[in-house]
C-alpha cells in the first residue's frame, strides 16, 4: 500500500498480488465456505476508510443491515442482491453499485467475483436522502451528445462525505486541479491523462486511477470521455 504517491494506478491483481484475508464466519452464512483475498491501496483506519481490490469464491450471506457505506465496481462475475420483499437486483461485470450503511439486503454470488471498492464506516444521518434507502446502480450508458460536459451525482452518504458521480467530458485540459477529496476514478469510455508534474499517465477504458486528497494534478480528456468517480472527503 503506497504512503507517498498521490496518484496511484489500480492493478486489478493488487500492486504485489492479492493476499488471502481473514476467513468469514461460516456460521453467519446461508451457504458456502468462501475464500476472500484483497489488496488495500489506501487506508485511514481512524476514519473507517479504505479503498482497494477484493475477490472471493461463492457464498450467500444472511439478510441483514449492511455494515458500511460501500461503492463497488464489479470486474468479474455477478452478484444478486436480494431485498427483504424478495426483489432482486442483478449486478454484472462492468456495473457499478453502492450499498448504504444500514440498508437491509442479502448478498448472493454463485461463482468467483472480483471488484474494486471504496468503504467508509461512519455514522448514518437520519435524513430524507433517497440514496440511503436503496441500492444505487448508476446508469453508465453513453449519452446521445458525447461533446457535452456533464456531472451527475447518483449517491451521497448520510455523513455527506462520500459520493458517487458519473462525469462526461469533451476535449478538455485542466492545467491545475487540486483534489478536495480522495477520488477513485474508473474510465468508462475515452481516455484520461493525469500529470502530477513528474509523470503523465494515460488511463483508457476499463482503467482505474486513485487520487489522494490534496493531489495537484493536470487532467486531459478526449471528446466523449466518461468517468465514474467515487469520492471520500477525509477529516483534516
pLDDT (tens digit, 9 = 90+) per residue, 34-51?
999 999 999 999 999 999
**Structure confidence at residue 123 (pLDDT):** 74
Whether CATH 2.60.120.10 fits 150-232 = yes
The whole-angstrom separation of Cα 170 and Cα 224 is 6
**Structure confidence at residue 5 (pLDDT):** 73
CATH 2.60.120.10 segments of the chain: 7-132, 150-232
Record: fold of 7-132? Jelly Rolls (2.60.120)
**Structure confidence at residue 131 (pLDDT):** 77
Q: Is the pTM of this model over 0.85?
A: yes
Using the CB atoms, write b or e for 22-53: b if 16+ within 10 Å: eebeeeeeeebebebbbbbbbeeeeeebbbbb
Using 50 as the pLDDT threshold, list the residues of the chain that sit under it.
1-3
Q: Which residue from 174, 170, 172 is spatially nearest to 146, judged by alpha carbons? A: 170
Please check whether residue 212 is in contact with residue 6, taking contact to mean a CB–CB distance below 8 angstroms.
Answer: yes
Strand partners, 70: 99, 119
**Structure confidence at residue 128 (pLDDT):** 65
Tens-digit pLDDT profile for residues 106-143: 999 999 999 999 999 987 765 667 777 888 998 887 66
Amino acid at each position: 500500500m503506497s504512503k507517498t504517491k498521490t496518484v496511484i494506478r489500480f492493478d486489478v491483481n493488487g500492486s504485489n498480488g492479492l493476499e488471502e484475508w481473514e476467513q468469514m464466519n461460516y456460521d453467519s452464512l446461508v451457504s458456502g465456505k468462501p475464500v476472500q483475498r484483497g489488496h488495500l491501496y489506501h487506508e485511514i483506519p481512524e476514519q473507517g476508510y479504505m479503498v482497494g481490490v477484493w475477490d472471493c469464491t461463492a457464498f450467500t450471506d444472511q439478510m441483514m443491515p449492511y455494515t458500511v457505506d460501500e461503492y463497488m465496481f464489479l470486474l468479474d462475475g455477478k452478484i444478486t442482491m436480494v431485498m427483504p420483499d424478495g426483489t432482486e437486483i442483478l449486478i454484472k461485470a462492468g456495473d457499478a453499485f453502492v450499498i448504504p450503511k444500514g440498508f437491509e439486503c442479502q448478498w448472493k454470488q454463485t461463482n468467483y467475483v472480483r471488484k474494486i471498492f471504496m468503504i467508509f464506516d461512519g455514522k448514518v444521518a437520519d435524513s430524507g436522502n433517497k440514496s440511503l434507502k436503496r441500492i444505487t446502480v448508476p446508469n453508465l450508458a453513453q449519452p446521445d451528445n458525447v461533446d457535452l460536459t456533464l456531472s451527475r451525482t447518483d449517491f451521497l452518504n448520510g455523513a455527506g462525505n462520500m459520493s458517487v458521480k458519473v462525469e462526461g467530458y469533451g476535449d478538455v485540459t485542466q492545467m491545475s486541479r487540486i483534489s478536495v477529496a480522495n477520488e477513485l476514478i474508473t474510465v468508462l469510455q475515452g481516455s484520461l491523462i493525469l500529470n502530477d508534474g513528474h509523470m503523465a499517465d494515460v488511463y483508457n477504458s476499463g482503467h482505474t486511477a486513485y487520487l489522494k486528497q490534496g493531489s495537484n494534478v493536470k487532467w486531459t480528456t478526449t471528446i466523449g470521455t466518461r468517468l465514474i468517480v467515487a469520492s471520500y472527503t477525509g477529516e483534516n
